[in-house]
A and B are shown apart, each in its own frame.
Chain A
Amino acid sequence: MKAKDRRLSELRSVIKEITPKEAQDLIKDNGASLIDVRDSDEVAQGSPRGALRLGRSFLELRVEDSVPNLEQPVIVMCAGGARSLFAAEALVGMGYKQVFSLAGGFNRWKNEGLGFEVPRFLDAKGKERYSRHLLMKEVGEQGQLKLLDSKVLLIGAGGLGSPSAYYLAAAGVGTIGLVDHDVVDRSNLQRQIIHTEDRIGMPKVESAKIAIEALNPDVKVKTYQHKLDVSNVEEIFSQYDVIVDGTDNLTARYLINDACVKLGLPNVHAAVYRFDGQITVFWPAYNKDKSGCYRCMFPEPPPPELAPSCAEAGVLGVMPGVFGLLQAVEVLKILLDVGEPLVGRQLTYDALGGEFYTMKLKPNPKCRYCRDGSVFPGYDEVAEVCASNLGGH
């Protein structure tokens, strides 16, 4: 008898082997975890849905991140049922109380007609480009694939939208939509870092597209070189997962809010003025917390006589940079479902004083747009009200 066969028969006497059908029941009825210990090229051919694809080489080092409870039943699976016995013994050694080995491995699982999927992987270039994300348990390979499948729309490719779009593209958000009807002006370059001197005069969405494509060819950029209005807002928004408000006028802010409420989309909202700025996420449809919308705070636009001046306000160049990046972080948190997004909270930063404050924003129970059971009241035709001092550009 060869040494390996002797060893395997020893292991069979201490590790319980179960059939694929028994495994399936254990997963369904007892919440067992199925751990696939095969190499990634084998997993790429197919793996049971929901299996933890931890591989063999880092199994002991990583298993607790996925299965922290040692009492939880675990089923170890390889291709034919031999390697899984060695791996199962290692898990018993770590203190897992109920460890099983799948007899016949994935081959038998497949032959018995049980369900599996062909998982997606990043290719070698993707693994290198996003390596710093892959090292984080908050992102990892599946998280990165999720980002690549995500679609984010930025309204405004100016002070806020420049850094936001640029970093989201770098981070590998697969589809980025940009709405801006303006062209690049020299006075933009003091803060709109996605644009350059030699693109002065070019539409901002085109200029941003050039910068993004030079940085990350994985990203698809869709440009909308026109103003948002009631006739186009839903058609555009409904193609995206998250909306980023980087506009500088009230007409757009109300329209963005109303469409996001209607479509249930998160609205990552920021505004910058001189040395101050603020950011929050309006998302009444958020399933983890109750929160309101922009109209909970400002139900109607101000009458023209109270509207702020039309003159462009001064802004320290880097302020929209800070807030555009805070917006980008919030977008990634929402897409990856990590941490706590700023839903129902507003962060204010006074750069001169160097102070940050967070305050709670309560939903307004009388809000026409987002109160419980409200029927969408339709879009208001909000006239052009100047509000550049609320703006991000």
Chain B
Amino acid sequence: MTDASLKAVSTPSIPDEPRTTAKTELAREQLIRYSRQLRLPDVTAADQQRLLNTRVALIGLGGLGSPTALYLASSGIGHLTLCDGDNVELSNLHRQLLHSMADLGRNKCDSAQDRLRSINPVLSITKVPEYLAGPVLDTTIASCDLVVDASDNFPTRFAVNASCARHLKPLLSGSVIRMEGQASMFRHDLLHAPCYRCLYSPDEDNLFGSCDGEGILAPVAGIIGTIMATETLKFVLTGQSSLDGQLLQVDARQLNMKLSLLRNDPSCPTCAARRTSP
């Protein structure tokens, strides 16, 4: 190839920057920051811009929320809505890496914001330092592109699922106990996708209680959290996740990974409400 032919295909106004097109101009700082990602054959500067334009609501900044938030922030998801009413306690630090000793007693949203900005200073962060319910829950869900449920109790999970159904927002949901974890993507933005309520009923007493009070092997929460971050990035980049309507179960004892197809429950009240929502 000659110099002349090179000139013919390049865009003269933006010299020598990898994968930059005239349509999308990432700042030089960002080209460096995301350079290893931009070298992927499937990630262009426009894709990176799409990540930067995305708003993810993260519900719970504990064992699952910590790794998810750290990797979403480092990968350049530009807008994060952080929701947690808890303050940092010493017993959190064995797995919740958003927080450190100096944060003990602070609200987790404040602690998380400082930590995430220390990795990626230009992040836009909205804090909701409370237990999500009522109108605040709905405003939070309505304003984002994707919801990650990393909460530790069933009432919150059902409320978040119902709100995602009202606002047609995709919901990535994960949980961890002892050496096991699971994750699923509930596509409330699609008409016939199964939802969290199709899987679990609030009256079942075989739900394994609140995760609060159960043992957790520290990095098992990290595995599920990083898988949730992976699926979030894939969803933004490709419009779908491998966990759409699927349940991933991880057992760290043997390191078994099992994927099973979820079915929607025709009598699910949450799905019924979703079908009639405006």
- Residues of chain A at the chain B interface (Cβ within 8 Å): 125, 128-136, 138-139, 163, 166-168, 170-172, 186-187, 189-193, 195-198, 214-217, 274-275, 312-319, 321-322, 325-326, 328-330, 332-333, 338-340, 342, 345, 347, 349, 351-356, 358
The answer to whether A190 and B255 have CB atoms under 8 Å apart is no
The answer to whether B94 and A317 have CB atoms under 8 Å apart is no
> A131-B91, A189-B119 known; A338 and B37 CB under 8 Å?
no
- Can you spell out 7 A-B residue pairs with CB atoms less than 8 angstroms apart? A167-B222, A186-B33, A187-B33, A214-B100, A275-B42, A318-B233, A358-B256
The answer to whether A353 and B37 have CB atoms under 8 Å apart is no
Determine the distance from Cα of A314 to Cα of B241 in the docked complex, in whole angstroms.
20
The answer to whether B36 and A128 have CB atoms under 8 Å apart is no
B248: nearest chain-A partner, CB-CB: A354
The answer to whether A138 and B36 have CB atoms under 8 Å apart is no
B97 on the interface (CB 8 Å rule)? yes
Chain A residues with CB under 8 Å of B101's CB are 214-217
Binds A, one of B3-11, B67-75, B190-198, B265-273: B67-75
B132 on the interface (CB 8 Å rule)? no
Determine the distance from Cα of A187 to Cα of B39 in the docked complex, in whole angstroms.
12
The answer to whether B234 and A351 have CB atoms under 8 Å apart is yes
B101: nearest chain-A partner, CB-CB: A214
Determine the distance from Cα of A130 to Cα of B91 in the docked complex, in whole angstroms.
6
A215: nearest chain-B partner, CB-CB: B100
B226 on the interface (CB 8 Å rule)? yes
B68: nearest chain-A partner, CB-CB: A318
The answer to whether A354 and B255 have CB atoms under 8 Å apart is no
The answer to whether B241 and A191 have CB atoms under 8 Å apart is no
The answer to whether B97 and A351 have CB atoms under 8 Å apart is no
Determine the distance from Cα of A163 to Cα of B98 in the docked complex, in whole angstroms.
12
Cβ 8 A contact of A313, one of B32, B39, B71, B227:
B39
The answer to whether B230 and A318 have CB atoms under 8 Å apart is yes
The answer to whether B100 and A274 have CB atoms under 8 Å apart is no
Q: How far is the CB of B245 from chain A (nearest CB, A)?
A: 12
Q: Which of B116-145 contact A (CB under 8 A)?
A: 118-121
What 1/0 mask marks residues of chain B from 28 to 69 whose CB sits below 8 Å from any chain A CB?
010011111111111100000000000000000000000100
> A197-B121, A354-B241 known; A170 and B97 CB under 8 Å?
yes
> A132-B91, A189-B120, A196-B119 known; A354 and B179 CB under 8 Å?
no
B217 on the interface (CB 8 Å rule)? yes
**Told that A128-B89, A332-B218, A338-B179 touch, could you supply 18 new A-B pairs with CB distance under 8 A?**
A129-B94, A131-B94, A132-B91, A167-B95, A167-B222, A171-B217, A171-B219, A187-B35, A195-B119, A215-B97, A274-B41, A312-B36, A314-B36, A317-B71, A325-B219, A328-B218, A329-B220, A354-B241
Cβ 8 A contact of A187, one of B36, B41, B121:
B36
- Residues of chain B at the chain A interface (Cβ within 8 Å): 29, 32-43, 67, 70-71, 74-76, 89-91, 93-97, 100-102, 118-121, 178-179, 213-220, 222-223, 226-227, 229-231, 233-234, 241-243, 246, 248, 252-257, 259
The answer to whether A352 and B90 have CB atoms under 8 Å apart is no
The answer to whether B252 and A339 have CB atoms under 8 Å apart is yes
B212: nearest chain-A partner, CB-CB: A132
Chain A residues with CB under 8 Å of B227's CB are 322
Determine the distance from Cα of A130 to Cα of B216 in the docked complex, in whole angstroms.
10
Chain B residues with CB under 8 Å of A339's CB are 179, 252-255
Q: How far is the CB of A68 from chain B (nearest CB, A)?
A: 19
Chain A residues with CB under 8 Å of B89's CB are 128
A147: nearest chain-B partner, CB-CB: B218
The answer to whether B242 and A138 have CB atoms under 8 Å apart is no
The answer to whether A275 and B40 have CB atoms under 8 Å apart is yes
The answer to whether B33 and A167 have CB atoms under 8 Å apart is no
Q: Which residue among B119, B227, B230 has the maximum number of chain A CB atoms within 10 Å of its CB? A: B230
The answer to whether A197 and B223 have CB atoms under 8 Å apart is no
The answer to whether A351 and B253 have CB atoms under 8 Å apart is no
Chain A residues with CB under 8 Å of B230's CB are 316, 318-319, 322, 351
The answer to whether B95 and A326 have CB atoms under 8 Å apart is no
Main secondary structure of the interface of A (DSSP, over half): mixed
> A135-B214, A333-B252 known; A186 and B94 CB under 8 Å?
no
A317: nearest chain-B partner, CB-CB: B75
Chain B residues with CB under 8 Å of A138's CB are 178-179, 217
The answer to whether B100 and A317 have CB atoms under 8 Å apart is no
Chain A residues with CB under 8 Å of B119's CB are 189, 193, 195-197
Cβ 8 A contact of A128, one of B39, B90, B252:
B90
The answer to whether B257 and A356 have CB atoms under 8 Å apart is yes
Chain B residues with CB under 8 Å of A171's CB are 94-95, 217-219
Chain A residues with CB under 8 Å of B35's CB are 187, 190
Q: How far is the CB of A113 from chain B (nearest CB, A)?
A: 40
Cβ 8 A contact of A134, one of B32, B178, B215:
B215
Chain A residues with CB under 8 Å of B91's CB are 128-132
B39: nearest chain-A partner, CB-CB: A314
The answer to whether A190 and B75 have CB atoms under 8 Å apart is yes
A340: nearest chain-B partner, CB-CB: B254
Chain B residues with CB under 8 Å of A168's CB are 219
Determine the distance from Cα of A353 to Cα of B230 in the docked complex, in whole angstroms.
11
Determine the distance from Cα of A256 to Cα of B227 in the docked complex, in whole angstroms.
28
Chain A residues with CB under 8 Å of B226's CB are 163, 318, 321-322, 325
The answer to whether B118 and A196 have CB atoms under 8 Å apart is yes
The answer to whether A139 and B93 have CB atoms under 8 Å apart is no
The answer to whether A315 and B95 have CB atoms under 8 Å apart is no
Cβ 8 A contact of A163, one of B67, B248, B256:
B67
Determine the distance from Cα of A196 to Cα of B140 in the docked complex, in whole angstroms.
29
> A128-B91, A318-B233, A339-B253 known; A325 and B36 CB under 8 Å?
no
Chain A residues with CB under 8 Å of B76's CB are 190
Q: How far is the CB of B177 from chain A (nearest CB, A)?
A: 10
The answer to whether A187 and B94 have CB atoms under 8 Å apart is no
Rank and list the top 6 A-B pairs by shortest CB-CB distance, nearest first. A354-B242, A314-B39, A339-B253, A135-B215, A136-B215, A314-B40
Cβ 8 A contact of B218, one of A133, A191, A321, A351:
A133
